Chain A
Amino acid sequence: MRYEMKPAFRERMEKLLPDKEDFSAFEKIVHTQPKNFIRCNTLKVSPDELMKRLNKKWRVVQPYSEYPEIMLIDQVLAPGELGNSIEHLLGYYYVQEVCSMMSPLALEAKPKEIILDLCASPGSKTSQIAAKMENSGTLIANDLKLDRLKILSANLERNGITNSIVTQRDAVALCANLSKMNFKFDRILVDAPCSGEGTLRSSPKTFLMWNEKVINNFSRQQKKFVAYALKCLKVNGVLVYSTCTHAPEEDEEVMDFAIKNFPVKIETLNLPLKCRPGITEWYGRSYSNEVKKACRIYPHDNDSEGFFVCKMTLLEEIKEQRENKWER
Chain B
Amino acid sequence: MGEIKFIKTPEKRRIIEELSRFGITEIPFLLIDWGREKIRAFSGTLSKEEIMEITNAARIDNMGIYFLKREETGLRPSIEALQLLKNQITKNIIDIDNAQMQLWMRGHDLDIKMPQGLYVIRFEGDLLGCGKSNGNSIFNYVPKERRLRKN
Interface residues of A (CB under 8 A from B): 44, 78, 80, 84, 86, 89-91, 112, 114, 135-140, 142, 149, 153-154, 156-158, 160-169, 173-174, 177-178, 181, 183
Contacts and interface: CB of A to CB of B under 8 A. Distances in A.
Contacts of A139: 44
Q: Is the interface of A mostly helix, strand, loop or mixed?
A: mixed
Given A90-B83, A136-B43, A174 B148 contact: no
A181 B54 CA distance: 9
A18 B119 CA distance: 64
Given A138-B44, A139-B44, A183-B53, A166 B65 contact: no
A142 B147 contact: no
A156 B62 CA distance: 11
Contacts of A154: 145
A84 B61 contact: no
A160 B83 contact: yes
Given A112-B45, A139-B44, A167 B151 contact: no
A164 B63 contact: yes
B99 interface: no
20 contacts: A44-B83, A80-B149, A84-B148, A84-B149, A90-B79, A90-B128, A112-B45, A114-B46, A136-B43, A137-B45, A138-B45, A156-B65, A157-B80, A162-B43, A162-B84, A165-B63, A167-B57, A167-B61, A169-B57, A178-B54
A157 B62 CA distance: 10
Nearest to B146: A89
A165 B62 CA distance: 6
B51 interface: yes
A68 to B, nearest CB: 21
B124 to A, nearest CB: 10
Contacts of B149: 80, 84
B135 to A, nearest CB: 28
Determine chain B's interface SS by DSSP, over half rule.
mixed
A142 B63 CA distance: 12
Interface residues of B, number: 36
Interface string B109-143: 00000000000000000101000000000000000
Among all A-B residue pairs, the 3 with the closest Cβ atoms: A169-B58, A177-B57, A138-B44
Contacts of B126: 86, 90
A89 to B, nearest CB: 5
B59 interface: yes
Contact of A153 (B54, B61, B146): B61
B105 interface: yes
Given A156-B65, A160-B83, A89 B105 contact: yes
A163 B57 contact: no
A86 B59 contact: no
B103 interface: no
Interface string B17-59: 0000000000001000000000001111110001101101111
Interface of B: 29, 41-46, 50-51, 53-54, 56-66, 79-80, 83-84, 101, 105, 126, 128, 145-149, 151
Contacts of B101: 86
Contact of B62 (A80, A158, A166, A178): A166
Contacts of A149: 61
A119 to B, nearest CB: 13
Contacts of B60: 165-168
A153 B62 contact: yes
Contacts of A114: 45-46
Residue with the greatest number of chain A CB neighbours at <10 A, chosen from B65, B79, B83, B84: B65
A168 B44 contact: no
B44 A167 contact: no
Contacts of B42: 162-163, 165
A161 B65 contact: yes
Contacts of A78: 151
A191 B56 CA distance: 24
Given A89-B146, A136-B44, 14 more contacts: A80-B149, A86-B126, A86-B148, A89-B147, A160-B80, A162-B29, A162-B41, A162-B43, A162-B65, A163-B64, A165-B46, A165-B54, A168-B58, A181-B56
Nearest to A154: B145
A165 B43 CA distance: 10
